[in-house]
Structure 1
């Protein structure tokens, strides 16, 4: 990052800090557990970690993107397509994913939402019952294993005392409607938080209607003063969410609300049904030792109707068809021991554990036609049992070697095994069974210096790795039999330095510089007949700067801002496919070409007026830099800045608390590309964001 870029940014932060008056009363500082696996202030951790809590100003509160705008380095794009999950990337990791989430580890209440191969989803995150979201970035993410370019973890709130009943409804443009009911409380040794949320939308674009029901329950039972058992249940139902697909840039310019014709022709859609249960046992053994045991099990069914042409399926005997039918069973556990005492007379903490995760997937494929009828389930074209599991061991230590210095380090050994058993063998479709094993040891180390009570400096370094997912192993680039077990895992070397500032109890800011160099980055090799194959790129780099600012400028006047500048590029040349019919990589990509899906910069700022009760108002700005859409760098989405306005009134009278709110987003009614479909084989890269939209709602609490 050039020095001239850094000076004005750092200077601006320091000037802003110096102009804010010192507060006279203290606020309760947040705590996080994701970085160290124990409750600590993020100000005392030598890593980039942020926490966001439940918003009080009212929102649709359905998509993760609504909650995390204030966290630098994290990009969550609402695709306006509920047949596909949100796009989530951290410092450029995970940006290549065209569906699902890769490269970023996801958790809810300590239970993985990412599968052992690194692919995950956030559709079952229930934000209505959540207390906070923690986001860990940088080298220490590697202590969570495979595909840990960063960690996003959602925590459900504990039961409240006195008990509360909550009801909410919000609706507005494009047929958006959210209704929710929540009960939380304490009854003797038991605390509970039970939530049900219904959401439906007509969709901003044609053929994009969806409905989603989610339920979440967290029930804790205090067995005695030293032991607690927590049960976490959640369920998700998304029936026949319409998939509008992407648009070419010409289609976007002509009418951003339209869909590609094939979406209507084949009635592209997706259904998801998921149930999951987790059990967590926490035991305090003595003053120094504690034990945590977690186990979980889940089922997830997915049926998706694609737009693969009939002619393609007929011509290719080995084609897996245009209907994907996945039945998943998954589960695992984590056992962790923690010791807190002193070492050489200084506070010391050590956590060590083992983790096991397993996924068994029955993958079937069918033709998306019967005779002349399109968009229906036809003859079977694929049938296989895919299994992937990991077995990891990890240890992490934190040692305050002096009043002003803390050392933190750890190591994780990960082993990931894939096995595929082909149950559909026919002429032109040979046996694709096979196995492969990946393993890596990822050390990390960091140091924190308390330069002054209001300024902490830190540095850290570590290694990470990311295996291909089963989706990326699905086909070989040479079109031969079997899965692409020749693909290598990507391995990275990550470094970070940063400052954390708290000049007063009402002001905090952060600044971080980071670099991640990766070997064997995964990128697209071919796109042919609905099949995408992958290859390894020798070297790539992600580097940049993050800044954040959060302050109460005056009584009931709050300013929050976040900024990220990111350079992500391939460092070695390679060949790729560009045209839809490309059967082998034939177009050169030059070294220095930007990694697609990664915006050059992102920014967010919000000015909020109002306290806990009475009138509320806010003005916010969300900015996204230009984003490359393909490996060649010949297609991109332009950058933009969108403004929103919010307001409302909060009544708090005895047992009742009523929050009325309204929002207007995209005030200028700009037409922009909200997200891109990386390396789409048909050149349909653009996913439009809505124009001006309106939202009104009310959330009621009864204590």
Structure 2
């Protein structure tokens, strides 16, 4: 059976992967140094951490979206919008819930390379599940040590090539004309670990769908490559490359009446041919060296480019009535790069064994942003859904420089202290090149600086049970979009908008029971200056600080293997997220924060032998979600059931895995996600009814 969960990064760096077998500690790998044999037992993590492994994420699943397999992580709310022009909707303990597109307030990394820009905006469209080795999800106080907009951390590690060389192909066919096809080649020269040995893992895939809703078809091509070389017995070099190309129609949101009458419809999408194209490529290089038996050095550098063109459904008359309107077409090009360097030293002798990690992280992004009208007016006739006149042109620059330090002290045989601090500095520089009568100069500069400390105490009661408490402070700066416009309608950046600051306290416990793990966490986060929408007029959305908010809750997780081939998972979250002060006309003290479910539950049971027949089922429950700050609109709660079965056939060097599944078994009509504070009341993004899928994986090992 596969390795179960838990583990936590000992250091601040985002490139951590801790693995554990079911109840047996082996291959405890912390991929942050050149000495991979120094790892953490699952029970040493003084914080809320969950790890899902690639084989589990691929088990009888389409391998299209992260939302397929991460529902077993407590505190994580991940929802498929059924809209590949807008990415998934993610929040961790409520952080990121206000994002209307992409991911906000959560730090995301793949192989040590951030998918989060310096201002806190993230995207996950470049993740190919067929190449994933593990996904680590970190919640709580220690998330703040990753820097700006770190309400939580998702760290994705892709596979490293190993002997024997393996060639595999995977295929999926499902409802709504959906299909996916992928090829993977993985292997290593020699033993793979000796000096001079190479390891490689190459994947490529194509996904296509007609879409559950009208005007929601999409195509996506992914490529992921990882090449490593052992320079000598103490150092290694890893090169990673990733690219994604997306072409997707955008069905948009629906009002409650539209959802109830016909959830498939997209009434405004056809009129303006709303759509989005994305092209992204990035390259990363990591050097790791064990300088001495007690000192490790690592350096990761990366660079990438992302181009996006999006056509929206903003009516032409709205754009025409104000020269300040940015238009209905977004044309965006981003170049980003960075370098993260760190040193780890361990002092194993003496009465207090201790380790120190010090490093510095530098990231920068240059953004060329243009806006155009989404119509052409000629001879008294409007042609909609075409790029028209220029309405916005600016160059934005964002960068950060973050030094950090963390230490771990073994105070007694049973008591451990972990502490760290990061000094985060973010700079914004916007240059407006579209200055015309009625649209003033919106250029400006802003910078933010904050100390981010965190600390934890862990007490080991037995070899299989510990308790911990941790505290930390985080912050979230405005994104460049949130800074762009002032809520008084005047020109210039919104300098009144301050970063939000949060303080988190967490207590928890973890206990290994046979071949399984039970974990529990209680937490409270109090935030000052929460960033929310102030107004949305004439196509310009401005933001304000909403005063104080509070998120507090309970998380329970259970992952258990029993009777050799049976496995069950349970994840439950109770999250109370409310405003604690009045702010404007819509936000009143006691209102629930929108986009956040108060209750969520995931439960699964599966029969999972190494080969032969297998089967499983899962239940997902999500309670009612408020759609706006005023709490005047909400999406009802729902429960869905999914079933799967398949057969694994192993013969000599061949493996054939054929499977089928059905989701939303009882054909429940529900809202899969909400567009928070949508100004026209089009909050609702419906989910599909009962849907089916079949798939096959065929692989051959060259031995």
Q: Normalised by the shorter chain, which TM-score bucket?
A: over 0.9
Map Cα deviations across residues 645-670 of structure 1 (whole Å, 9 max, x no partner).
00000011111111111000000001
Deviation at 1:679, TM superposition (A): 0.2
Q: Which of 224, 247, 263 matches 2:269?
A: 263
Deviation at 1:388, TM superposition (A): 0.4
Cα distance, 1:175–1:61 mapped onto 2, change above 3 Å: same
Alignment pair present for 1:318 and 2:324: yes
CA distance in 1, matches of 2:675, 2:23: 48
Q: Which residue of 1 aligns with 2:96?
A: 94
Deviation at 1:507, TM superposition (A): 2.0
Q: Which residue of 2 aligns with 1:8?
A: none
CA distance in 2, matches of 1:27, 1:110: 24
CA distance in 2, matches of 1:364, 1:549: 48
Q: Which residue of 2 aligns with 1:561?
A: 570
Cα distance, 1:600–1:25 mapped onto 2, change above 3 Å: closer
Alignment of 1:518-667 (within 5 A): 518-575=527-584, 587-667=585-665
Q: Which of 450, 453, 463 matches 2:473?
A: 463
User: Is residue 31–residue 39 contact of structure 1 (8 Å, CA) maintained in 2?
Assistant: yes
Q: Which residue of 2 aligns with 1:475?
A: 485
Q: SS state of the match for residue 257, structure 2?
A: helix
Cα distance, 1:499–1:264 mapped onto 2, change above 3 Å: same
Q: Which residue of 2 aligns with 1:9?
A: none
Deviation at 1:691, TM superposition (A): 0.3
Q: Which residue of 1 aligns with 2:175?
A: 173
Cα distance, 1:34–1:139 mapped onto 2, change above 3 Å: farther
Deviation at 1:554, TM superposition (A): 1.9
Alignment pair present for 1:408 and 2:410: no
Q: Which residue of 1 aligns with 2:257?
A: 250
Q: Which residue of 1 aligns with 2:242?
A: 234
Q: Which residue of 2 aligns with 1:16?
A: none
Alignment pair present for 1:367 and 2:381: no
CA distance in 2, matches of 1:282, 1:556: 38
Deviation at 1:343, TM superposition (A): 6.1
Q: SS state of the match for residue 128, structure 1?
A: helix
Alignment of 1:161-200 (within 5 A): 161-188=163-190, 189-200=197-208
User: Is residue 421–residue 432 contact of structure 1 (8 Å, CA) maintained in 2?
Assistant: yes
Q: Which of 457, 462, 474 matches 1:447?
A: 457
Alignment pair present for 1:485 and 2:495: yes
TM-score for both structures, normalised by structure 2: 0.93
User: Is residue 561–residue 606 contact of structure 1 (8 Å, CA) maintained in 2?
Assistant: yes
User: Is residue 333–residue 369 contact of structure 2 (8 Å, CA) maintained in 1?
Assistant: yes
Q: Which residue of 2 aligns with 1:580?
A: none
Q: SS state of the match for residue 437, structure 2?
A: coil
Deviation at 1:211, TM superposition (A): 0.2
Q: Which residue of 2 aligns with 1:347?
A: 353
Q: SS state of the match for residue 320, structure 1?
A: coil
Alignment of 1:100-249 (within 5 A): 100-188=102-190, 189-239=197-247, 241-249=248-256
Q: Which of 329, 348, 351 matches 2:335?
A: 329
Map Cα deviations across residues 26-83 of structure 1 (whole Å, 9 max, x no partner).
4757656699997323321111111100135221111111121111011111110000
Unaligned stretches of 5+ residues in structure 1: 1-22, 576-586
Map Cα deviations across residues 201-245 of structure 1 (whole Å, 9 max, x no partner).
100000000000010001001100011010010001012x10000
CA distance in 1, matches of 2:668, 2:30: 38
CA distance in 2, matches of 1:313, 1:568: 36
Q: Which of 500, 509, 520 matches 2:510?
A: 500
Q: SS state of the match for residue 174, structure 1?
A: coil
CA distance in 2, matches of 1:341, 1:159: 33
Cα distance, 1:601–1:237 mapped onto 2, change above 3 Å: same
Map Cα deviations across residues 280-303 of structure 1 (whole Å, 9 max, x no partner).
000110111111001100000000
User: Is residue 390–residue 415 contact of structure 1 (8 Å, CA) maintained in 2?
Assistant: yes
Deviation at 1:557, TM superposition (A): 1.2
User: Is residue 227–residue 239 contact of structure 2 (8 Å, CA) maintained in 1?
Assistant: yes
Q: SS state of the match for residue 252, structure 2?
A: coil
TM-score for both structures, normalised by structure 1: 0.93
CA distance in 2, matches of 1:70, 1:172: 23
CA distance in 1, matches of 2:513, 2:566: 18
Deviation at 1:345, TM superposition (A): 2.9
CA RMSD in angstroms comes to 1.7
User: Is residue 614–residue 651 contact of structure 1 (8 Å, CA) maintained in 2?
Assistant: yes
Deviation at 1:147, TM superposition (A): 0.3
User: Is residue 660–residue 698 contact of structure 1 (8 Å, CA) maintained in 2?
Assistant: yes
Deviation at 1:344, TM superposition (A): 3.7
User: Is residue 27–residue 37 contact of structure 2 (8 Å, CA) maintained in 1?
Assistant: no
Deviation at 1:24, TM superposition (A): 11
CA distance in 2, matches of 1:33, 1:464: 25
Deviation at 1:530, TM superposition (A): 2.2
Cα distance, 1:187–1:377 mapped onto 2, change above 3 Å: same
User: Is residue 586–residue 629 contact of structure 2 (8 Å, CA) maintained in 1?
Assistant: no
CA distance in 2, matches of 1:335, 1:113: 18
CA distance in 1, matches of 2:508, 2:398: 37
User: Is residue 144–residue 474 contact of structure 2 (8 Å, CA) maintained in 1?
Assistant: yes
Report the more deviating stretch, 31-40 or 642-651.
31-40
User: Is residue 32–residue 298 contact of structure 2 (8 Å, CA) maintained in 1?
Assistant: no
Q: Which of 64, 68, 71 matches 1:69?
A: 71
Q: SS state of the match for residue 546, structure 2?
A: strand
Cα distance, 1:459–1:180 mapped onto 2, change above 3 Å: same
Q: Which residue of 1 aligns with 2:49?
A: 49
User: Is residue 32–residue 51 contact of structure 1 (8 Å, CA) maintained in 2?
Assistant: no
Q: Which residue of 2 aligns with 1:381?
A: 391
Deviation at 1:25, TM superposition (A): 8.4
CA distance in 2, matches of 1:28, 1:291: 24
Map Cα deviations across residues 354-373 of structure 1 (whole Å, 9 max, x no partner).
00000000000001001110
User: Is residue 353–residue 394 contact of structure 1 (8 Å, CA) maintained in 2?
Assistant: yes
Map Cα deviations across residues 386-430 of structure 1 (whole Å, 9 max, x no partner).
010000000111122222111101000000000001111111111
